[in-house]
Structure 1
Amino acid sequence: MNSKERRNYIEELLRKGDNPQKGHILAEELGVTRQVIVKDIAILRAEGKKIIATPEGYLIHKEEKSVVKKVIAVSHIAANIEEELKIIVKFGGVVEDVIVEHPLYGEIRGMIMAKTFYDIENFVKRINEYKAEPLLILTGGVHLHTIAAENNDIIQNIIEELKVKNYLVSD
């Protein structure tokens, strides 16, 4: 399989699949190094493919016509990450990312793509396993999330509960 065929295969696999694909597993399956896969993904992105890298692996962004998205501003301490994310998911929202505004680097965005409590529990588990500092520590707890949902009612329910918990940054 040449490099173009390999990239076509990767793109099709991501388009058809619902689960993230880890780079090292793709590399093993295709008989190349992980670095070759990273390069292939970079080329596919440069061609305009909406591939995102999540902690669970690569996904291709699938356009959904009935999805409503909203960027929300929240603030809390690191210990409240799990509760905040679960509020969003319990109403049917998807936490796509976390965004902070860094004084030196500008906007820093990390992909989360949490759809279920299981996704959130794994995210928090990885924070602890890697002894990683979440991005919110760079901004004293203030951060943004892009949330997606099937309709505006779901978004409003999420916002209302985040307000009740005093997580939502208000004007």
Structure 2
Amino acid sequence: MNSKERRAYIENLLKENNSPRKGSSIAEDLGVTRQVIVKDIAILRAEGKKIIATPEGYLMPKEERNMVKKIMAFSHKSDDIEDELKTIVKFGGIIEDVVIEHSLYGEIRGMLMIKTFYDVENFINKLKSYKAEPLLILTGGIHLHSISAENYEIIDNIIRELKDKGYLIED
């Protein structure tokens, strides 16, 4: 299989799967190194393919025309991350990303694609096992999330509960 065929295979694989695929797993399937896959993903992105790298692997989001999206501003301690994320997904919200505004680097974005309680628990477990600091540490707790949902009623329910818990930054 040449590089063009391999990239077509990767693109189709990501389009057909609803869950992320690790680069190492794709590499093993194709008999190449993970670095070859990283390079192929970079080329596909340069060609305009929307491929997201999440902590769980690569994915191509389905174009969900009926989904609504809201960017929300948060401020809280790192101890509240799990509760914040679970509050969003319990109503059916999807946490697409986390964004902070860094004084040196400007905007820093981490793709999350957290949809379920399992995803939240997995994210929290990785945060602990990697001994990593969440991005909000760099900004005193201030961060943004892009939240998508099937309708505005879900978004409104999420906002209401997040406000009650004091997590949202209000005007």
TM-score w.r.t. the length of structure 1 is 0.99
Question: How does 1:10-159 map onto structure 2 within 5 Å?
Answer: 10-159=10-159
1:52 Cα offset (Å) = 0.3
Q: Give, in angstroms, the shift of residue 19 of structure 1.
A: 1.2
Percent identity over the alignment is 70
Residues of 2 paired with 1:108 and 1:11: CA distance?
A: 26
- In the TM superposition, what is the alpha-carbon distance from 1:30 to its structure 2 partner? 0.4
| TM-score for the superposition, normalised by structure 2 | 0.99
Q: Distance in 1 between matches of 2:111 and 2:31?
A: 28
Superposition deviation, residue 62 in structure 1: 1.5
- State the shift of 1:70 in Å: 0.6
Partner of 2:5: 5
Task: Give the number of aligned pairs.
Answer: 171
- Cα deviation, residue 115, structure 1: 0.3
2:55 and 2:120 mapped to 1: Cα distance? 11
- Give the 3-state SS of the residue equivalent to 1:132 in structure 2: coil
Letter in 1 for 2:44: L
SS state of the match for residue 63, structure 1? coil
SS of aligned partner of 1:146? strand
Deviation at 1:83, TM superposition (A): 0.1
Q: CA offsets, 1:106-146, max 9 Å, x none? A: 00000111000000000000000000000000000010000
Cα distance in structure 2, aligned partners of 1:31 and 1:131: 32
Question: Following TM superposition, where does structure 1 have runs of at least 4 consecutive aligned residues deviating by more than 6 angstroms?
Answer: none
Report how far residue 2 of structure 1 moved: 0.3
| Cα displacement string for residues 17-39 of structure 1 (whole angstroms, at most 9, x for unaligned residues) | 11110000111110111000000
Instruction: State the 1:153 CA deviation.
Output: 0.7
**Partner-residue secondary structure (3-state), 2:145:** strand
Letter in 2 for 1:61: P
Partner-residue secondary structure (3-state), 1:24? helix
Residues 31-77 of structure 1: CA deviation (Å, up to 9, x unaligned)? 11100000000000011100000000000021111000010001110
Distance 1:67 1:42 in 2: 27
State the distance in 2 between where 1:37 and 1:12 align.
14
